[in-house]
A and B are shown apart, each in its own frame.
Chain A
Amino acid sequence: MSRLSKKFNKLKENKQKALIPFITAGHPHPLMTVPTMHALVKNGASIIELGMPFSDPMADGAVIQQSSEEAIKKGMTLSSVLDLVSEFRENDDKTPVVLMGYLNPIEKFGYQQFVKQASESGVDALLIVDMPPEESSELLSLLNQYNLSQIFLIAPTTTRKRQQYILSKSAGFIYCVALKGVTGSNNVDYSDLSEKFNTIRSLTDLPIAIGFGVKDVNSALAVAQYGDAVVIGSALVKKLGKCKNEKEIKKTIKKFIKPISKALNKE
């Protein structure tokens, strides 16, 4: 059984929700990424979403774009992202790691080579923002071959028919975007989430993760009731960007992530 399935099964047994923090690999510094990942797990993260920095992150807002630019400047590459995952795996073999990013660096790396190395590094799943299922058949068969899951997004604009199509191609979990716009946007309209997620729930047994617009305990609780996991990205990346060393990172994560994971697990 995959790490992701094991994790979600265990959470389900304990009637807990997963907290999935997103960080940009190499931000605020490549040396801080692995300690950040461990600190996140220590403070209640169930799964880690690791951003592969790209120069032109079209679906991301200013915070993640800036973190990506900084990480690239500090020398992050696709293969060093994989190295970071290997390093993380030396001390943590249980927490699933999802890589999130854009297609061009992977095209350059070569699909076969990338999937193979990602699998060897201990990556569990891949979310490619600019690769809808229609274009993913080649990558998908490689991922299947190496037992990696491909995570797809469902947006507020996704029609029901398309939801079914996307779900038929998905593995691991399904990532639902709670609002239109780029990452780090504000003002989720929670009122119509209920119906939307009930529909998705009726279409799949996959765990449902909800993200975009989650920035604190309240917003995490607000979306958690509709899904199995909550993704928190830009708000965390912004806080990490202000940290100058490992100590500050650990302090920030304890102060910011712990209350959210606690609140979610009380449910």
Chain B
Amino acid sequence: MTNYYDFPDVKGHFDQYGGVFASETLMKCLNELQVAYKKYKTDEAFQSEFYYDLAHYVGRPSPLYLAKRLTQNVGGANIWLKREDLNHTGAHKINNTVGQILLAKAMGKKRIIAETGAGQHGVATATVAARLGLKCVVYMGEVDIQRQAINVYRMKLLGAEVISVKSGSKTLKDALNEAMRDWVTNVDDTFYIIGTVAGPAPYPEMVRDFNSVVGREAKKQFNKQVGGLPDAIVACVGGGSNAMGIFHAFLNDETVKLYGVEAEGKGMSTGKHAASINAGDVGVLHGNRTYVMSDEDGQIIETHSISAGLDYPGVGPEHAFLNDKGRAKYVLANDQEALNAFHLLTEVEGILPALESSHAVAYGIKLSQKLVKGKNIIVNLSGRGDKDVHTIAALEGINL
């Protein structure tokens, strides 16, 4: 049996995936980061400061909540929600930024950069930078800036400089390219807080570790409230940080089925989706080998999802690995299913999920119908939907 905790290896590989595919200028700082992370990963003072901040600043633990009316409505297995939407700043993203900024501080870096798609990671980064008084620059695609205006303003209120990226498809991948360029240029004093489990090593491992508190809590909470282990875990996957966060504690518990939900967008046959594992090929993007959406010539293609946070043509290398191992299954939910799930959860539970998380809810509903009553599914409710209210209103032709 595979021990999933043996991965990544020392060079950041999850079998053939991951690694360090970066330009030479970055190799020194990636190496420094690797060394620093290895040191602080087991440093008691660092870890206790991290957990103190998670408890008192982020508001952890987040509840594990049995969605009774949703379950009744669906008529299948019990649906539990891991309430990451209740964290400070409204999503799981803050777990990682709290961790990385402590590392930046420990390494003596003065300037923070980040990329953002939906704006959640940008807000989470700007938040922790404000708290520590560090200068913060966030790169965001021009298209995303338009569809996430509220988060852009939040970042500005928090004192961050938001730079509009106008190259390529003007979305998350281009913001990442631009942040990498900034980092190459300002490598001495700058710490790059990557928001997902992608990028060159050690990012996939580090971002996973900082988010893995989600799964550890869920495991403990489930055992306390029900006993034993849940039957399945469901989480949405763009880059895949919330999914790795909740999966990690369960990787070696093979009775617990893991489902990552990719964005099917307008449907697989239309090509307008963001399902890198389901439809992509093995390639190299943003510093790691993984599943990548590219055309027959290897050019990265534009993806589509109703949710900006899932609109990314790659996926974290550990997900690629778990897929190939058959440990996690990567399934689909389309724009309409996500919207329906958004409405249903809002109406029957009084919880507005983020559009990203709505994909997980949508698949959780499907899975609940497939499983017998009494089985238990945990859906990672990775973020709240306040940021999406304008998008949804506009889609449904409502003028606010």
Contacts and interface: CB of A to CB of B under 8 A. Distances in A.
Interface of A: 54-59, 61-62, 65-66, 69, 72, 77-78, 102-109, 129-132, 134-135, 152-159, 162, 166, 177, 180-182, 185
Contact of A157 (B177, B187, B282, B287): B187
Contacts of A181: 25, 181, 184-185
Contact of A58 (B19, B23, B185, B281): B23
Contact of A55 (B168, B180, B185, B289): B168
B109 to A, nearest CB: 15
B299 interface: yes
Interface string B170-211: 000110010011001111100000000000000000000000
28 contacts: A54-B298, A55-B299, A56-B173, A57-B177, A58-B23, A59-B180, A102-B284, A103-B283, A104-B284, A104-B292, A104-B299, A108-B296, A130-B22, A132-B20, A132-B22, A132-B27, A155-B24, A155-B27, A156-B25, A157-B26, A157-B28, A158-B24, A177-B24, A180-B186, A181-B184, A181-B185, A182-B185, A185-B185
Contacts of A69: 167-168
Contacts of B27: 132, 155, 157-158, 162
Contacts of B23: 58-59, 129-130, 153, 155
Contacts of A130: 21-23, 284, 287
A72 B168 CA distance: 12
Contact of A108 (B173, B185, B187, B297): B297
A180 B184 contact: yes
A78 to B, nearest CB: 6
Interface of B: 11, 19-29, 167-168, 173-174, 177, 180-181, 184-188, 281-287, 289, 292, 294, 296-301
Contacts of B20: 132, 134-135
Given A56-B300, A132-B20, A132-B22, A104 B181 contact: no
A245 B8 CA distance: 52
A65 B168 CA distance: 9
Contact of B284 (A62, A107, A109, A153): A107
A130 B25 CA distance: 10
A69 B302 CA distance: 13
B168 A177 contact: no
Given A56-B285, A58-B286, A130-B284, A103 B21 contact: yes
Contacts of B28: 155, 157-159, 162
A134 B12 CA distance: 11
B43 to A, nearest CB: 24
Contacts of A162: 27-28
A107 B298 CA distance: 8
A251 B286 CA distance: 39
Most chain B CB within 10 A, of A130, A158, A180, is at A130
